[in-house]
Amino acid sequence: MTPASKESPTPERPAVGRRAVLGAAAAAAAAAPALLGRTAAAAAPARKGPRALPGGGDLGPNVLVFDPSTPGIQAKLDEVFDKQEKAQFDTGRYALLFRPGTYHGLNAQLGFYTSIAGLGLSPDDTTINGDVTVDAGWFNGNATQNFWRSAENLALVPVNGTNRWAVAQAAPFRRMHVRGGLNLAPAGDGWASGGYLADSRIDGTVEPRSQQQWYSRDSAVGGWSNGVWNMVFSGVEGAPAQTFPNPPYTVLDTTPLSREKPFLYLDGDAYRVFLPELRTNARGVTWGNGTPRGTSLPLSQFYVAKPGDSAATLNQALTQGLHLLLTPGIYHLDEPINVSAANTVVLGLGYATLIPDNGVTALKTADVDGIRLAGFLIDAGPVNSRTLLEIGPDGASADHAGNPTTVQDVFLRIGGAGPGKATTSIVVNSRHTLVDHTWVWRADHGDGVGWDTNRADYGIRVNGDDVLATGLFVEHFNKYDVQWYGQRGRTVFLQNEKAYDAPDQAAVQDGDVKGYAAYKVADSVTSHEAWGLGSYCFYNVDPGIVQHHGFAAPNAPGVTFHGLLVVSLGGKGQFERVINDTGAPTSGSSTVPSTVVAYP
């Protein structure tokens, strides 16, 4: 976010023929779940202990499902928006789901903790002749706090030809087809600080306008009009040419590895969860020729969790062989959720939120193949947690190259909604893990905010080898934001701000080095590559604080960086260098990036 973020603002359903293409694979998966590495709950042997939990069931009161014939859709959309427009740290959580078909004259304005999605296999199965809008009227035209909302799996025909999606962090635009243009800035071109686009087709031009940074992956665009600080593209058809730093475009022709996020869809009237396949050197959307490639699971193989379910209940469901579908709401945990079986899916709807109450880790995974974590928020509790999310145990070493764990749209927050503490937010131990879009945020505003009040020393620590991160947003940690110890790690896009509230230079002194780097590759690493990394400082308590550099890495032949920048926001703190001892210092009160095109 920019410095201003510190301020508070006073028909008929289409035939299912195309989806039937998936039928054989889906039926096989349902009939032989062992192929997916799980055992169906119905096949579990009888045993003593708690009564078996059921799979499937109702999605709960905060999942609103619409059909083209549903009366009063716009009124219901407006009702949810009225509740959520300004509800930055409230407890409301909503998922707005649209059955396949065509809808007319809708404007779905999205507020906090609101997700909108189609229930087809392709975005084109569910068409809204209208808009899905994010704007910033609630914050006087400033979009830098438009967090925690999402749009997925819909086709839009915008009323005026261009859809407005003025967002900041944790607001993915996934698997969307806009039959027109896309504007990433608020009305009046106020500040915006996003953002993430994936597996989407924008027929017209994407206009960032005032949007400061953006990452687009495996998509297709009709054009791209400008850039402010850091625009990164991988696997995007129609992306602009590589021109960093002017314009600030960092462009990879393909994404090294990707696997799209699991999603809920309807097969007739039955819910299923689609699991897209792994792609290497990916480019363009997964759904362009109709049915996407992958497998699916019936809802009967999921425990449909409701707010109030305990960690013990969620773990019992996992032990039974069920996957987890977390419906919208708050889940308080007194022990970790332990995901131990290969190919387990944990999918959240409507920003379902996990809160560890007593200093535990919210979720841990075993060192097994193919776990998929997606679509939920972890909110640190008032008792310090050593970690909030652990991917694999300490010392994990198994090879998962053919079927990695994926972490997608999983967001972490320390403070803001109340006091929270965590020493390290995410630890990645398992090899080949794919982290695809996360915002890890030590809050700089809200309740329970202060240098020691919401203490959080480290954002992400990567210990595992061969880990790929596509779309890292990591901000405001007391020490290092990203630490990388694994070999052959890769990152495509980083957006970072150093902690605003450091009291003085001594508080951020890293031994003999002024300030903790935003992104540090350990001295033991001999192979690492990263593209499109940006770090900003806004030391508003002590504007005299100096960061020696934004990025730190060993001088080794296999360690390379492309498209780096540091920015001093309004002169509140300064950077002396960009990476190690390379790069020009930032300049006084001028909010102008200092850049390094390639390192070494």
- Give the active site residue among 79, 237, 497, 576: 497
Tokens standing for 222? Answer: 């009709």
Identify the three-state secondary structure at position 440: strand
- β-strands 519-521, 482-484: how paired? parallel
Q: Look up residue 87 and give its two tokens.
A: 């509800």
What tokens were used for 469?
């991160």
Question: Is the Cβ–Cβ distance between 159 and 183 less than 8 Å?
Answer: no
Q: What is the rounded CA–CA span in Å between residue 434 and residue 472?
A: 11
Angle at 229 between CA 223 and CA 230, to 5 degrees: 65
* All residues at 6 or more sequence positions from 82 whose CB lies less than 8 Å from its CB, including other chains: none
Instruction: Please give the single-letter amino acid code of residue 448.
Output: G
* Cα 87 from Cα 414, distance rounded (Å): 17
Are 481 and 519 spatial neighbours (Cβ–Cβ below 8 Å)? yes
DSSP state of 251: E
The DSSP annotation for 492-515 comes to EEEEEE--TT--SGGGGEETTEES
Tracing tokens 């299923």 back to the chain, one arrives at 272
The distance of Cα 259 from the centroid of its chain, to the nearest Å, equals 14
Residues in the chain, total = 600
- Separation of CA 135 from chain center: 20
The answer to whether residue 497 is catalytic is yes
Q: Closest by alpha carbon to 339, among 373, 305, 300?
A: 373
Q: What are the DSSP calls for 344-405, one per residue?
A: -EEEEEEEEEEEESSS--SEEE-S-S--EEEEEEEE--SSPEEEEEEES-TT-----TTS--
Q: Which residues are catalytic?
A: 497
